Structure 1
Amino acid sequence: MKKITIGAALLTSVLAIAQEKDTLKSNDIEEVVVNGRYYKKYVEKQGSSSLRLNEDLIKIPQNISIITARALEDQQVTTLSDGVLRNVAGAQRLEHWGDMYTRVNMRGSRAAAFMNGVNVTSNWGPLSEDMSFVDHIEFIKGPSGFLMSNGEPSGIYNIVTKKPTGNALNGTARVTLGSYNMYRGEADVDTKITEKVAFRLNLMAQNRNSFRDYEFNDRYIINPSLKVNLTDKTTLTAEYIYQKAKMSEVGSAYVFSFDGYATRPASYTHTDPSIDPTKVDNNTVNINLQHNFNENWKLTSQLTYVNEYTMGSDIWPSNFEGNYMIRRVNYWEADNTMKFGQVFLNGYAKTGFVSHKILAGLDLGSKKYMADWSQGYNLDKYNANDDYNAPADHNYWYNLETKNYGINGTNAYFGPNGEYKAFDGTSKPLSVRAGAGSTIEQNYTGLYLQDELGFLDDKLRLTIAARYTNVKENNYGTKSVADKVTPRIGISYSIDESMSVYGLYDQAFVPQAAIFRDGSTVKPITGNNMEIGVKKDWLGGKWNTTISAYNIIKNNATVNDPANSPSEQFSILLGKTRVQGVEFDLKGEITRGFNTIFNYAFTENKIVESNDPQNNPEGKRVPGYAKHTVNGWLNYTFTDGLLEGFGLSFGGTYLGDRSSWDWGGTNTKQMNDYVKFDAGASWENTKFRVGLNVFNIFNRYLYSGSPYANYYYYQAEAPTNFRLSIGYKF
């Protein structure tokens, strides 16, 4: 990040440049300080180059929301699962395996995970991105397959990483301390080596325990990047991201109960202190080459390689009766390798009174996920001899009420020799142990062409586009090939420079890595999306609003099979579903020193044509969303006087009528509404920043969960906790 301190006489010109001309981008400047006057960057007017559109957001006929690094810093967000979604209307995190990965749902289904424009989504990944190397996050609502390759019609989120700016030496160093023995250090160094070569290095190390016993999450990041101006028109950027996670077994957050949700203290866990930790190593390499032929035509090509290796475990009941459970440790070793190639051309031309913004490109992708799920064992005995043919003896089971481990409250039995049973990964290579039954492969090719026609001096814009996608998959031994041409038609009209209205028709085509219990695979998701909206900039772009309404029809929609065991991943076919909703976003500086983020979303997802009328009748709600979502974040920073640089923040999140993986039957308990409030205080000048944030300030019992088999599972969130950070800028 960089701050520029200038005299008051230059205020008008600086704001005009930053807000009207968009020449000061987030990579170059995070905020402007004018004699103590802070202009925080809660608003971005353009997306990254990986968004491909090369146009102001207000002119694009689609709902696109950008979360800036400054907003993340004020909220003291550390990973994607750590409060990021409060900044986006309708986005919700579904609980699963702690902070190993973040599943984001919006507009009724999972949002695909992208990084710098490539689809890094996998069944259990990617590893939740740490914010230390994130410049900003772009949320693109609705079908985004045309823009960014394959993706659900709900939309995508695109992590845009920090890049070298080419400026003189500058950077930040930050130390964060927090509840539950959280210790975190970050460094961001950005400099130029020569006039043509720039370098940036981001480092992060974190040790953090939990409000639950035996639970921890340690993370480490190394992220060097290099930018080389090969010529005046050609730029090469290369980056490497190494992420390492070491955490307690990922089932430690789950609580199981026959009585419903939140039945035990928030700190409750049934894990054990001696289980080997889960370890994840993620290596990402990205090379981007951009060439400007002239001021109107630009060619971008990109190669990306991702490898994520996981060696982990989780606990799930193998037997569960009343307050007694036999806990089973399930091991898995997985390798997730992805390779991507992209090339696209942006151009501008004019024919008579009509302008043309051309986008044409090619996407190539290869993904392979293989895992060994075959190993595991019970931590607790069925009876004295562990004989399932003899009557059960609860004295040898884990007692949820007293938390006793086996007979006489001691750890009496762990594996066949009275000790923990280790994972055996030495006998055969992972590829052999995984086999076809635990391997997912996907190879895809996409070709696309778009022309945005501008009329009336570009006040009226008509977008006509088409994409051809071909996908070859091998899902757990079942091979399939699918292809489709999907059109895209959009219209946007600028009422004036600060306000536009738009409409969009798009089609979805999403191959699914899903398998039914009988071994067959599901057909790709297809469907139609219609969206209308209004975008408005206020006070010269200091704050903006977007309101949109949408209707998404999905064919071949699936949900997780409720009969799945923890290691199973079967799906069931719902049929045709319809998602409808309204979303409102507001962000930016409302008045001098007062910045806010506020959003509301109404979402409704139902089956309109059922493949299984008995169990999933028409009109039944599809799981995976909250019907009402409200988020707010308020920050006031004093700009002069004795309190200059001092700021106060307050925020809240409300999820009403919410669902996790399954709504459950008519006799199943539903989750309570989710209400959480946070607050913060900060002080800063041009060199130092001190921030204190307190989360869940009213100490509410927060949880999310789902019915499962004949019982419930849920995960509790942390009680009231804090983070204190001290940062230095140079």
Structure 2
Amino acid sequence: MSFTCSLRRNAVSGYALLALSAAISAVSHAETNDARASDKDIEEVLITSRFTTNDQLDTATGLGLTLYETPQSVSVMTSERISDQNLRSLTDIVNNAAGISSVSSDSSRDRFSARGFAIDNYQIDGIPMTWSSGGDAGETQSNTALYERVEVVRGATGLLTGAGNPSASINLVRKHADSKTLTGYVNASAGRWNTYTATADVATGLNRSGSVRGRAVVSYEDGDSFRDLAGDETTVFYGVVDADVTDNLLVRVGASYQDNQPTASTWGGLPTWYSDGSRTDWERSKTIGADWTAWASTVQNQFADVIYNFGSDWQLKLNVNRNVNEADLMLIYLSGTVDRDTGEGLNPSPYNAETERDQMSYSAQLSGSYSLFGNQHDLTLGAISSEQDFISQTRARTDVAPVGNFFEWDGSYPQPTWGEQSVAADQNIKQEGVYAATRLAVTDAFKVILGGRISNWQQTGVSYGSPVDYGNDDIVTPYAGLVYELNDHHSLYTSYTEIFSPQNRQDRNGDFLDPITGTNYEIGLKSRFFDDALHTTVTLFNVVQDNLAQADGDEVVPGSVPPAQAYRPAEGAESTGVELEVVGEITDGWDVSFSYTKFDVEDADGTAVNTNQPDELLKLYTTYRFDGALDKLTVAGGVNWQGSNYTNATNPVSGNAERLQQDAYSLVSLMARYDISSQLSVQLNVDNVLDETYYSQIGFYSQLEYGEPRNITASVNYQF
């Protein structure tokens, strides 16, 4: 299927014209500024943006390409942007990054998506990690103090990540020990709901020459919540040592630890209906958490890197990575409807479980350049092997008390009596892959990127009494991209990428279905101005997910006891849309990040799917550093707007179909920072300035969750 034919022109053309018009306007303005500078014959000044990077990135292709050279939609959240907006968790990053969004499941879990599909994996320094169910072991709460930046590649990313959805890949880039002299910062903040944080980040050489360097990060946060009873305590430790063993050999070892200890955690959301069938309207502070409920989690990571430069632009990277996510769950789920007069009607389901997800990964990558037909080309070869063990142990409960009047819920609900621990799930996932990609310089202006991956994936074990044993071998994942530089400022690109997701369904012959395939077609224009300080991207994309299992009539799997439904592969969902991004420094001291995303996602019958995620996003954030008498002052402001989202549900009282909908809304933020000296600064952040009341999710198990009200944080930062 060609990209041109697959696009729904009528649905997209209006948005494309809007995006192209905005991009052309930005281009014209920038080129006019360039012309004026040339006319005045002033000295050229290299402007470096705080919101983008010109570094070489491996996240999309493994070839070490810049954002401008990569034939996919790639965005970066820099450390400066993270600091300006006071973004403290991965969920904060997602809520502000271009083209991706999140919805809350409850107080401790968030679900991410892009282009209409769920994001089900992420990376740490390019090593793929798989989410646990809904991020229930702290993944979405990863503390940003650990990372130098966060990279997001949208679309299918199977070349480097292996299995997953055609949505996006989020790469968390660790901080490294790259300073030979003592440097770092100490930060302390105080915010609404008695929230206090303290962070220290220190790097230094560990020997006289600086060939051995170290870096340590410590962060602590403690506070309450806008929800009644709730609070959270987070502790983070990170340490890394980089050693230049020789001029060509770098060895790096490090480890991190994050401990999340929340109180009065919720599981699920608030009830949506009263017992008379009408809709509820709770205060934002209302909770279903109890004094004893907690969704505690820890994340441990240990890693070692060996990087050897052969000379002649060839480099070998070897990595060993272990990631352990543990969760200790003491929760209660409330279901049912509430009587308007008595407050009764909810049914309690207490839950006690301990989970552990332990993943070991090994990877090797060889990259370099070679000569062919008089031109220099790039090549990368890689292999990765990972094994993940997951175990969940639960306890039965007795002496479960009734909820009573939910209007008077104060968290004093008694904890049930817990029984002996038993294994609910014990599973093992093995994934292996080898990949190769090359960038061919057909001419100085025309580059062709070709690549592919061969993967094996297998899951075995038991899940709630049912055996699990399925997978696929020799899955081929192709990659292709074209980049044509129109001139020094603009380049056209197109790409074709794939990803796969194994499925545990069998056909009428007893064979497992082939994996679900996700295919991403993309075409766009990338531009750069002011010596790469300002980047713009306009993208049209088409994402197709196929081979989805559908019930095969009355056919059953042969030999299954009891008889199991047989399935057949079918066409799945298709997402078509447009993205626009403008990021960088417009003029000295003025940084901007603007993005707009619009898409439509439908199944093979033309019915809208995944409607619980917004299909339209607009995100703007800008900072301005004054000069002259106000040169110590920086101000910033932003707005995150998203279109409506909904879930089709059934009213449990009337039995009628109802749409649970969150209308479009905007969240406004402000920041001001004052430099008392070159080392000491104070900063004030205000989030949700207009105190917008909104649902962070509506319809997940027909319940609802409120977003955070206005929040104010004051901080002081000392750099050395």
State whether TM-score is above 0.5: yes
* Aligned twin of 1:339: 360
Q: Distance in 1 between matches of 2:327 and 2:393?
A: 11
Q: CA 1:512 to 1:159, structure 2 compared with 1: closer, same or farther past 3 Å?
A: farther
Alignment of 1:69-88 (within 5 A): 69-82=79-92, 84-88=93-97
TM-superposed deviation, 1:86: 4.3
Which of 449, 453, 473 aligns to 2:459? It is: 473
Alignment of 1:187-226 (within 5 A): 187-194=200-207, 195-226=210-241
TM-superposed deviation, 1:71: 0.3
Helix, strand or coil: the match of 2:259?
Answer: strand
Q: 2:330 matched to 1:313?
A: yes
Q: Which consecutive unaligned segments of at least 5 residues does structure 1 have?
A: 1-11, 20-38, 382-396, 406-410, 415-419, 560-571, 609-616
Q: CA 1:545 to 1:94, structure 2 compared with 1: closer, same or farther past 3 Å?
A: same
Instruction: Check whether the contact 1:326–1:378 (CA below 8 A) recurs between aligned residues.
Output: no
* Aligned twin of 1:725: 715
TM-superposed deviation, 1:401: 2.9
Helix, strand or coil: the match of 1:540?
Answer: coil
Q: CA 1:404 to 1:277, structure 2 compared with 1: closer, same or farther past 3 Å?
A: closer
Helix, strand or coil: the match of 2:659?
Answer: coil
* Aligned twin of 1:269: 287
TM-superposed deviation, 1:524: 2.3
Q: 2:299 matched to 1:289?
A: no
Q: Distance in 1 between matches of 2:505 and 2:334?
A: 25
Task: Please tell me the residue identity of whatever aligns with 2:499.
Answer: A
CA offsets 1:175-205 (integer angstroms, 9 cap, x no match): 0100001010000001011221000000001
CA offsets 1:381-431 (integer angstroms, 9 cap, x no match): 2xxxxxxxxxxxxxxx432334378xxxxx6x73xxxxx23655xx56xxx
Instruction: Check whether the contact 1:253–1:716 (CA below 8 A) recurs between aligned residues.
Output: no
Q: 2:488 matched to 1:497?
A: yes
Q: Distance in 1 between matches of 2:602 and 2:348?
A: 36
* Aligned twin of 2:263: 248
Task: Please tell me the residue identity of whatever aligns with 1:305.
Answer: R
Which of 400, 409, 414 aligns to 2:406? It is: 400
Which of 447, 469, 481 aligns to 1:461? It is: 447
Helix, strand or coil: the match of 2:643?
Answer: strand
Which of 121, 129, 133 aligns to 1:120? It is: 129
Which piece of structure 1 moves more, 195-204 or 477-486? 477-486
CA offsets 1:330-350 (integer angstroms, 9 cap, x no match): 122101100101101111011
* Aligned twin of 1:31: none
Which of 640, 645, 649 aligns to 1:658? It is: 645
TM-superposed deviation, 1:603: 1.8
Helix, strand or coil: the match of 1:147?
Answer: helix
Helix, strand or coil: the match of 2:661?
Answer: coil
Helix, strand or coil: the match of 2:90?
Answer: coil
Helix, strand or coil: the match of 2:178?
Answer: coil
Aligned residues: 635
TM-superposed deviation, 1:714: 1.2
Q: CA 1:280 to 1:683, structure 2 compared with 1: closer, same or farther past 3 Å?
A: same
* Aligned twin of 2:561: none
* Aligned twin of 1:27: none
* Aligned twin of 1:326: 347
Which of 145, 151, 154 aligns to 1:138? It is: 151
TM-superposed deviation, 1:359: 0.9
TM-superposed deviation, 1:87: 3.8
Task: Please tell me the residue identity of whatever aligns with 1:480.
Answer: Y
Helix, strand or coil: the match of 2:68?
Answer: helix
Runs of 4 or more, structure 1, over 4 Å off, are 12-16, 47-51, 259-262, 376-379, 512-516, 519-523, 572-575, 659-666
Q: Distance in 1 between matches of 2:457 and 2:261?
A: 35
Q: 2:321 matched to 1:304?
A: yes
TM-superposed deviation, 1:121: 2.1
* Aligned twin of 1:95: 104
Output the aligned Cα RMSD.
Answer: 2.8
TM-superposed deviation, 1:370: 1.5
Q: 2:694 matched to 1:707?
A: no
Which of 669, 691, 695 aligns to 2:687? It is: 695
Instruction: Check whether the contact 1:213–1:269 (CA below 8 A) recurs between aligned residues.
Output: yes
CA offsets 1:593-634 (integer angstroms, 9 cap, x no match): 2211111000211101xxxxxxxx542323342121111112
Q: 2:595 matched to 1:580?
A: no
Instruction: Check whether the contact 2:290–2:410 (CA below 8 A) recurs between aligned residues.
Output: no
Task: Please tell me the residue identity of whatever aligns with 1:148.
Answer: T
* Aligned twin of 1:350: 371
How many percent identity over aligned positions? 20
TM-superposed deviation, 1:558: 7.9
Alignment of 1:281-680 (within 5 A): 281-322=298-339, 323-324=343-344, 325-376=346-397, 380-381=401-402, 397-403=403-409, 414=414, 420-421=415-416, 423=418, 433-435=422-424, 438-457=425-444, 459-474=445-460, 476=463, 477-483=467-473, 484-512=475-503, 524-557=515-548, 575-608=571-604, 618-641=606-629, 643-659=630-646, 667-680=658-671
Task: Please tell me the residue identity of whatever aligns with 2:452.
Answer: A
Helix, strand or coil: the match of 2:690?
Answer: coil
Q: Which consecutive unaligned segments of at least 5 residues does structure 2 have?
A: 1-41, 551-566
Q: CA 1:404 to 1:219, structure 2 compared with 1: closer, same or farther past 3 Å?
A: closer
Task: Please tell me the residue identity of whatever aligns with 1:707.
Answer: G
Instruction: Check whether the contact 1:174–1:727 (CA below 8 A) recurs between aligned residues.
Output: yes
TM-score, reference length from structure 1: 0.82
Q: Distance in 1 between matches of 2:188 and 2:648?
A: 37
Q: Distance in 2 between matches of 1:118 and 1:537?
A: 29
CA offsets 1:345-397 (integer angstroms, 9 cap, x no match): 1110111233321111101011122112453457532xxxxxxxxxxxxxxx4
Q: 2:280 matched to 1:280?
A: no
Q: Distance in 2 between matches of 1:298 and 1:264?
A: 58
TM-score, reference length from structure 2: 0.83
TM-superposed deviation, 1:136: 0.1
Task: Please tell me the residue identity of whatever aligns with 2:668.
Answer: F
Instruction: Check whether the contact 1:337–1:368 (CA below 8 A) recurs between aligned residues.
Output: yes
Task: Please tell me the residue identity of whatever aligns with 1:143.
Answer: A
Q: CA 1:716 to 1:358, structure 2 compared with 1: closer, same or farther past 3 Å?
A: same
Q: Distance in 1 between matches of 2:44 and 2:307?
A: 28
Q: CA 1:355 to 1:510, structure 2 compared with 1: closer, same or farther past 3 Å?
A: farther
Helix, strand or coil: the match of 1:264?
Answer: coil
CA offsets 1:112-150 (integer angstroms, 9 cap, x no match): 221111222223332521011110000011111103333
Task: Please tell me the residue identity of whatever aligns with 2:181.
Answer: A
CA offsets 1:78-109 (integer angstroms, 9 cap, x no match): 11122x234433211121232x3442211111
Instruction: Check whether the contact 2:193–2:226 (CA below 8 A) recurs between aligned residues.
Output: yes
Q: Distance in 1 between matches of 2:398 and 2:619?
A: 43
TM-superposed deviation, 1:657: 2.3
Task: Please tell me the residue identity of whatever aligns with 2:239.
Answer: P
Task: Please tell me the residue identity of whatever aligns with 1:90.
Answer: G
Instruction: Check whether the contact 1:626–1:657 (CA below 8 A) recurs between aligned residues.
Output: yes
* Aligned twin of 2:167: 154
Q: Distance in 2 between matches of 1:369 and 1:702?
A: 35
Helix, strand or coil: the match of 2:478?
Answer: strand
Instruction: Check whether the contact 2:57–2:65 (CA below 8 A) recurs between aligned residues.
Output: no
Q: Distance in 2 between matches of 1:139 and 1:636?
A: 25
Task: Please tell me the residue identity of whatever aligns with 2:583.
Answer: K
Q: Distance in 2 between matches of 1:708 and 1:92?
A: 16
